[in-house]
Amino acid sequence: MALIVQKYGGTSVGDIDRIKNVARRVLTTKNQGHEVVVVVSAMAGETDRLIRLSQQVTRSPDERELDVIVATGEQVSTGLLALTLKSMGCDAKSYQAFQIRIATDSAFGKARITGIESERVRNDLKNGRVVVVAGFQGVDVQDNITTLGRGGSDTTAVAIAAALKADVCEIYTDVDGVYTTDPNICDKARKLSRISYEEMLEMASLGAKVLQIRSVEFAKKYDVPIHVRSSFNDHPGTIVCKEEKEMEKVVVSGVAYNKNEAKIEVMHIPDVPGVVANLFKPIADANIVVDMIIQTSSTDKGFADVAFTVPKSDFPKILQIVKEKLKEIGGKDIKADENIAKVSIVGVGMRSHSSVAAQMFSALAQEGINIHMISTSEIKISCIIDAKYTELAVRALHDAFQLDRPEVSEEKQ
- Quick check: 134 and 46 in contact, CB under 8 A? no
Q: Is 246 helix (H, G, I), strand (E, B) or coil?
A: helix
Q: How far is CA 17 from CA 14, 43, 84, in A?
A: 8, 12, 10
H-assigned helices in 39-151: 46-57, 63-87, 119-126
38 binds a second copy (CB under 8 A): no
Euclidean distance between CA atoms 155 and 136, whole angstroms = 8
The residue from 3, 44, 51, 69 that contacts a second copy (CB under 8 A) is 69
Q: Which is nearer to a second copy, 19 or 226 (CB)?
A: 19
The residue from 1, 31, 58, 378 that contacts a second copy (CB under 8 A) is 58
The residue from 19, 210, 341, 346 that contacts a second copy (CB under 8 A) is 19
26 binds a second copy (CB under 8 A): no
- φ, ψ dihedrals at 354, nearest 5°: -85, -20
> Which has the closest alpha carbon to 76: 136, 150, 165, 151?
136
Stretch that binds a second copy, among 90-98, 303-311, 312-320, 384-392 (CB under 8 A): 90-98
Q: Which is nearer to a second copy, 17 or 234 (CB)?
A: 17
Other residues' Cβ atoms within 10 Å of the Cβ of residue 91: 13
Shortest separation between residue 360's beta carbon and a second copy, angstroms = 49
50 binds a second copy (CB under 8 A): yes
CB under 8 Å to 270, separation ≥6 — which residues?
302, 303, 304, 329, 330
Shortest separation between residue 128's beta carbon and a second copy, angstroms = 16
The residue from 32, 48, 62, 313 that contacts a second copy (CB under 8 A) is 62
CB under 8 Å to 134, separation ≥6 — which residues?
39, 40, 71, 74, 75, 77, 78, 94, 95, 96, 97, 156
CB under 8 Å to 295, separation ≥6 — which residues?
276, 304, 305, 306, 307
Stretch that binds a second copy, among 12-20, 164-172, 232-240, 273-281 (CB under 8 A): 12-20
Shortest separation between residue 50's beta carbon and a second copy, angstroms = 7
Q: How far is CA 9 from CA 73, 152, 402, in A?
A: 12, 10, 32
117 binds a second copy (CB under 8 A): no
Stretch that binds a second copy, among 63-71, 174-182, 235-243, 292-300 (CB under 8 A): 63-71
76 binds a second copy (CB under 8 A): yes
Stretch that binds a second copy, among 137-145, 244-252, 260-268, 405-413 (CB under 8 A): 137-145
Stretch that binds a second copy, among 71-79, 205-213, 298-306, 343-351 (CB under 8 A): 71-79
Q: Is 37 helix (H, G, I), strand (E, B) or coil?
A: strand
Q: Which residues bind a second copy (CB under 8 A)?
A: 16, 19-20, 50, 53-54, 56-58, 61-62, 64-66, 68-69, 71-72, 75-76, 78-80, 82-84, 86-87, 93-94, 96, 98-99, 143-145
